């Protein structure tokens, strides 16, 4: 699913680049407005697809809490055994490697 989303993003970005280039060469105002409208629609779709792609967020230990980069406190449960994979605040995929390395030191 993520691979499909990334492929769609790439295709939309390429198409937007072509539309932008064509809009700059458009002699009529109607053609220019139509091209800009199509670009705006594609930009909106790109933003929607980008929101579906998980972003990696590093978990930090701060003031007695585990915290996502967005500032959301990530509860790891009693004893710290259960770790969430995603932040409830921003939806980013959580990267626990730094915290695990800290525990093992």
Give residue-wise pLDDT tens across range 8-36.
Answer: 888 888 887 887 776 666 667 767 787 78
Give residue-wise pLDDT tens across range 51-90.
Answer: 777 666 777 777 777 888 888 888 665 555 667 888 888 8
Q: What residue has token string 């993003």?
A: 9
Distance CA 98, CA 5 (A): 28
Question: Distances in Å between the alpha carbon of 73 and those of 9, 28, 56?
Answer: 31, 54, 16
């Amino acid at each position: 699913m993520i691979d499909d989303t990334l492929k769609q993003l790439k295709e939309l970005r390429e198409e937007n680049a072509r539309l932008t280039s064509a809009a700059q060469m458009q002699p009529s105002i109607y053609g220019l407005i139509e091209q800009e409208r199509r670009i705006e629609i594609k930009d909106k779709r790109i933003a929607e697809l980008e929101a579906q792609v998980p972003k990696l967020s590093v978990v930090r230990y701060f003031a007695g809490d585990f915290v996502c980069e967005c500032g959301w406190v990530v509860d790891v449960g009693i004893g710290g055994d259960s770790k969430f994979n995603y932040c409830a605040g921003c939806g980013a995929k959580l990267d626990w490697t730094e915290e695990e390395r800290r525990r093992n030191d």
